[in-house]
Chains A and B, each alone.
Chain A
Amino acid sequence: MTFSSLERPPLRRAELGTNFTEAMALRSISRRFGSRVLSYRSSSVASLHSHATSFGFQQVKEEEKSKLVGNVFTNVASSYDIMNDVMSGGLHRLWKERLVGKLSPFAGMKHLDVAGGTGDVAFRIFDAVNSVKRRALRKVDEDSLEETQIYVCDINPNMLNVGKQRAAERGLGDNKALVWVEGDAEALSFDDNSMDGYTIAFGIRNVTHIEKALAEAYRVLKRGGRFLCLELSHVDIPVFKDVYDLYSFKVIPNLGELIAGDRESYQYLVESVRRFPPQEKFATMIADAGFEKVEYENLVGGVVAIHSAIKL
Chain B
Amino acid sequence: MYRTAARRLLGAGFTTSRLLRLPKPRPTTTIIPYSYCTSSMESPIGNQSVNPNQSDPTAAREEGHRRDESRKPRAEFQEEQARVLAASLRHVPRLGWTEEAMIAGSREVGVSPSIVGSFSRKEAALVEYFMDECLQLLIDRVDSGLDLQNLIPSERVSKLVRIRLEMQIPYMSKWPQALSIQAHPVNVPTSFKQRAMLVDEIWHTVGDGASDLDWYVKRTVLGGVYSATEIYMLTDDSPAEYRDTWAFLDDRVKDAFDLKKSIQEAKYFAQDIGAGVGKSFQGLMNGVMQTMSTRGGRSSAF
In contact, B77 and A106 (Cβ under 8 angstroms): no
Chain B residues with CB below 8 A from A105, complex form: 117
Which one of B46-54, B104-112, B152-160, B253-261 is at the A interface? B104-112
Chain A residues with CB below 8 A from B95, complex form: 139
In contact, A225 and B107 (Cβ under 8 angstroms): no
Chain A residues with CB below 8 A from B99, complex form: 104, 106
If the complex has contacts A292-B77, A312-B77, A312-B80, are A225 and B100 also in contact, measured as CB distance less than 8 A?
no
Minimum distance in angstroms from B170 CB to a CB of chain A: 19
Judge whether B118 is part of the interface by a CB distance below 8 angstroms. yes
Judge whether B93 is part of the interface by a CB distance below 8 angstroms. no
Q: Which residues of A from 92 to 115 have beta carbons under 8 Å from B?
A: 102-106, 108-109
Chain B residues with CB below 8 A from A139, complex form: 95-96, 98, 100
| 1/0 contact string of A263-299 vs chain B (CB within 8 Å) | 0000000000000000000000001000011000000
| 1/0 contact string of B70-104 vs chain A (CB within 8 Å) | 00011011001000000000000001101110011
Minimum distance in angstroms from B97 CB to a CB of chain A: 12
Judge whether B223 is part of the interface by a CB distance below 8 angstroms. no
In contact, B116 and A312 (Cβ under 8 angstroms): no
Minimum distance in angstroms from B111 CB to a CB of chain A: 3
Chain B residues with CB below 8 A from A108, complex form: 113
Chain B residues with CB below 8 A from A197, complex form: 114
Judge whether A8 is part of the interface by a CB distance below 8 angstroms. no
| 1/0 contact string of A188-213 vs chain B (CB within 8 Å) | 00000000110000000000000000
In contact, A144 and B103 (Cβ under 8 angstroms): yes
Judge whether B115 is part of the interface by a CB distance below 8 angstroms. yes
Minimum distance in angstroms from A98 CB to a CB of chain B: 13
Chain A residues with CB below 8 A from B107, complex form: 141, 143-144
Q: Which residues of B from 108 to 146 have beta carbons under 8 Å from A?
A: 110-118, 122
Complex alpha-carbon distance, A238 and B99, angstroms = 41
Q: Select which of A144, A226, A287, A292 is within 8 A of B114 by beta carbon.
A: A226
| 1/0 contact string of A136-156 vs chain B (CB within 8 Å) | 100111011000000000000
Chain B residues with CB below 8 A from A140, complex form: 100
Judge whether A223 is part of the interface by a CB distance below 8 angstroms. yes
In contact, B111 and A226 (Cβ under 8 angstroms): no
Q: Select which of A104, A141, A225, A310 is within 8 A of B77 by beta carbon.
A: A310
* Minimum CB distance partner of A144 in chain B: B103
In contact, B113 and A106 (Cβ under 8 angstroms): yes
Chain A residues with CB below 8 A from B113, complex form: 106, 108-109, 196, 224
Chain B residues with CB below 8 A from A39, complex form: none
Complex alpha-carbon distance, A211 and B98, angstroms = 37
In contact, A102 and B74 (Cβ under 8 angstroms): no
Chain B residues with CB below 8 A from A102, complex form: 117
Residue picked from B104, B113, B116, most chain A C-beta under 10 Å: B113
In contact, B112 and A196 (Cβ under 8 angstroms): yes
In contact, B80 and A225 (Cβ under 8 angstroms): no
In contact, A106 and B103 (Cβ under 8 angstroms): yes
In contact, A308 and B118 (Cβ under 8 angstroms): yes
Complex alpha-carbon distance, A109 and B99, angstroms = 14
Which secondary structure dominates where chain A touches chain B?
mixed
Q: Which residues of A from 107 to 137 have beta carbons under 8 Å from B?
A: 108-109, 136
* Minimum CB distance partner of A291 in chain B: B73
Judge whether A222 is part of the interface by a CB distance below 8 angstroms. yes
* Minimum CB distance partner of B79 in chain A: A312
Complex alpha-carbon distance, A136 and B103, angstroms = 12
Chain A residues with CB below 8 A from B118, complex form: 226, 293, 308, 310
If the complex has contacts A144-B103, A293-B74, A312-B76, are A109 and B98 also in contact, measured as CB distance less than 8 A?
no
Minimum distance in angstroms from B68 CB to a CB of chain A: 15
Chain A residues with CB below 8 A from B110, complex form: 223
If the complex has contacts A139-B100, A141-B100, are A224 and B114 also in contact, measured as CB distance less than 8 A?
yes
Complex alpha-carbon distance, A139 and B113, angstroms = 16
Chain A residues with CB below 8 A from B114, complex form: 103-104, 106, 109, 196-197, 222, 224-226, 310
Residue picked from B107, B113, B114, most chain A C-beta under 10 Å: B114
Complex alpha-carbon distance, A310 and B115, angstroms = 7
If the complex has contacts A103-B117, A308-B118, are A224 and B106 also in contact, measured as CB distance less than 8 A?
yes
Complex alpha-carbon distance, A292 and B73, angstroms = 6
Residue picked from A139, A197, A225, A287, most chain B C-beta under 10 Å: A139
If the complex has contacts A139-B100, A144-B103, are A106 and B116 also in contact, measured as CB distance less than 8 A?
yes
* Minimum CB distance partner of A222 in chain B: B112
Chain A residues with CB below 8 A from B76, complex form: 292, 312
Complex alpha-carbon distance, A221 and B111, angstroms = 11
* Minimum CB distance partner of B106 in chain A: A224
Minimum distance in angstroms from B248 CB to a CB of chain A: 33
| 1/0 contact string of A39-66 vs chain B (CB within 8 Å) | 0000000000000000000000000000
Partner-B contacts on A (CB < 8 A): 102-106, 108-109, 136, 139-141, 143-144, 196-197, 221-226, 287, 292-293, 308, 310, 312
24 contacts between A and B (CB under 8 A): A105-B117, A106-B99, A106-B113, A108-B113, A109-B113, A141-B103, A141-B104, A141-B107, A143-B107, A144-B104, A221-B112, A224-B106, A224-B113, A225-B112, A226-B115, A226-B117, A292-B73, A292-B76, A292-B77, A293-B118, A308-B118, A310-B114, A310-B118, A312-B76
Given contacts A226-B112, A293-B77, 10 further A-B contacts (CB under 8 A): A139-B96, A139-B100, A224-B80, A224-B113, A226-B117, A292-B73, A293-B73, A293-B74, A293-B118, A310-B77
Partner-A contacts on B (CB < 8 A): 73-74, 76-77, 80, 95-96, 98-100, 103-104, 106-107, 110-118, 122
